[in-house]
Amino acid sequence: MLLLLLLLPLAAALAMIVAPPGRWPRRLALVIPGLQLLLMVRMAVQPAADLRLEWLPQLGLDFHLGQDGLSLPLVGLTALLTLMAVAATSLETPRQRLFFSLVLITNLGLQGALLARNGLLFVIAFELILVPTTLLIAIWGHERSRQAAIRYLLFGAVSGVVLLAAVLALDLLNANGFSLAYDDMATAVLPEGSKVWILGLLVLAFGLKLPAVPLHGWQPLAYSEASSPVAMLLAGAVSKLGAYGLLRFGVGFMGDTWEAWAPLIAVAGTAGAVYGALNAIAQTDMRRLVAYSSLGHMGLLLLALAAATPLSLQGAVAQVLAHGVISSLLFCVVGLIEAKTGTTEIAELSGLLNPLRGLPFTLGMFLLALIAAAGLPGMVGFVAELVVFQGSWTVFPLPTLGCLFASGLTAVYAIRLFNRVGFGKLDNAKAFYPATTWGERLPALVLSALVLVGGLWPPLTLGWSESVTATLARHQPLIASLPAPSILQELPS
């Protein structure tokens, strides 16, 4: 099953490159992530055994794949968002074979990184994602897409080089001997002076991928210039690899040193949350507003990781899953609005709730996404934020208050945006917008349903929490010594 998760997108991508054109590439691109979702459900019911093959033993590189409670939900999220991104792609998209093959190669890199159990294998998969995503931004983006792609490529290349240096240093300096296996990396005995700068390299590498303030220089431009399906993948899945890396390598492998870095990470998270929210309020374009909104929510994630309590780590995983769905829904709906109105400039849009000449159904889904991003009770975002704040309060009360303030600002820009585009008068000269079809609405409807179900049934995002904490607690004394959180003991299993 683990190998199939990688072979399916690889085989489909190769078939698209060599086969004749037609509508079948889109259909195949829909089938592959659908099969991955079925495999993920099967693995959740009956965990798959590790797959380990010798590859380049001279370099310490084994083809070692495995699953646990930290990787499995992200495997499912990646498959889901790949499926939704393909479904949200217009039938008029040019060069469809190349487009869908690049989407599937991105999926391959993400799944490979999540399933890897070897440090160098993780780095290879991490780097594999960079080329197809850069091309997806540059070829199918908006007016400044090439500038956005170049900036994204430069930041991504730095992230990959720094990550490789950190992984090699972690193994070369290990007193127990050179080994790139996760189990050996987690128990590495390092010189005291080296731990701080190795963790610094890891934080830099994954902070660039997340991204976290002040390492976010590529994000607003890339998210706003990419096409909506590509932005859905970038915000919902690709950026989450940064969070996974911080959890796996930072908290899981270097727990003692992480505790020393935690106050600085918490302050950076709070600054990022406030910075993202304030910039979102100031935006005049919906795409850039959603981009800065996503940046602000990554600040909450950093706060949860910095606290590193059982509850905050469970909140961090829930935040990754919730934000992946919400951000993808926002970009999906913004893409629908742009397709029908021809613009995402807030000043040029008004009255879209008009039942006759507006886009009332699409605006309804947009409202749902905005209030979910604002953390309204009953939505999946509220569940994640509540657990994050409860878990971080005892360790970092002041940064938690700062993030609570930023969460309040989220409601400000959400209400202002919806008021401007939903209400008011339609422009009689151009407001004859064609209604969205059910086929166009379907991806947003699926994501909207998950936003509601995840809020009303918290185990959808928190059900992985016990295994996540157990995975990280093996080599993290701070986590292992803390009591189990009572809030999760009351949730149905």
pLDDT tens-digit readout, 334-367: 999 999 888 899 988 888 888 877 888 999 999 9
**Is residue 230 pLDDT above 90, yes or no?**
yes
Other beta carbons within 10 Å of 174: 19
- Distance between CA atoms of residues 354 and 345, nearest Å: 18
- Distance between CA atoms of residues 48 and 39, nearest Å: 10
Q: Which of 138, 75, 129, 77 is nearest to 104 (CA)?
A: 129
Q: What tokens were used for 345?
A: 């400039």
Q: The pTM is what?
A: 0.91
pLDDT of residue 431: 67
195: CB partners within 8 A, 6+ apart: 254, 256, 257
**C-beta of residue 298 within 8 angstroms of C-beta of residue 210:** yes
Q: Considering the chain, what is the average pLDDT of its residues?
A: 88
- State the DSSP code for 347: G
**C-beta of residue 162 within 8 angstroms of C-beta of residue 204:** yes
- Distance between CA atoms of residues 272 and 77, nearest Å: 24
In order, the DSSP letters of 384-439 are: HHHHHHHHHHTT-HHHHHHHHHHHHHHHHHHHHHHHHHHSS---TTT--PPPPPHH
> Environment class of residue 267 by beta-carbon count within 10 Å: exposed (0-12), middle (13-18) or buried (19+)?
middle
pLDDT in tens, 290-329: 999 999 999 999 999 999 888 899 899 999 999 999 999 9
Q: Which of 268, 382, 285, 251 is nearest to 326 (CA)?
A: 382
- Pairing mode, strands 61-65 and 51-56: antiparallel
> What 3 state SS string does 104-173 have?
HHHHHHHHHHHHECEHHHHHHHHHHCHHHHHHHHHHHCCCCHHHHHHHHHHHHHHHHHHHHHHHHHHHHC
Coil, helix or strand at residue 376: coil
Residues 142-161 have a mean pLDDT of 95
Q: Which of 77, 85, 92 is nearest to 36 (CA)?
A: 77
Q: Which of 314, 279, 267, 122 is nearest to 209 (CA)?
A: 122
**Is residue 465 pLDDT above 60, yes or no?**
no
**HSE, side-chain direction, 13 A CA sphere, residue 295:** 32
| Integer CA distances (angstroms), 150 to 146, 211, 218, 219, 339, in order | 6, 16, 9, 12, 26
pLDDT confidence band for 467 (50 / 70 / 90): low
- The H or E element containing residue 63 is strand 61-65
Other beta carbons within 10 Å of 93: 13
pLDDT confidence band for 189 (50 / 70 / 90): confident
Burial profile 14-50: b = 16 or more Cβ within 10 angstroms, e = fewer = eebeeeeeeeebbebbeebbbbbbebbeebbeeebee
pLDDT in tens, 371-403: 999 989 989 999 899 999 999 999 999 999 999
| Integer CA distances (angstroms), 198 to 166, 203, 215, 245, in order | 6, 9, 18, 14
For tokens 């159904």, name the residue.
Answer: 361
**Is residue 482 pLDDT above 70, yes or no?**
no
The amino acid present at 265, given as its one-letter code, is: I
Burial profile 213-240: b = 16 or more Cβ within 10 angstroms, e = fewer = bebbebbbbbbbbbbbbbbbbbbbbbbb
**Is residue 231 pLDDT above 80, yes or no?**
yes
pLDDT in tens, 102-123: 999 999 999 999 999 999 999 9
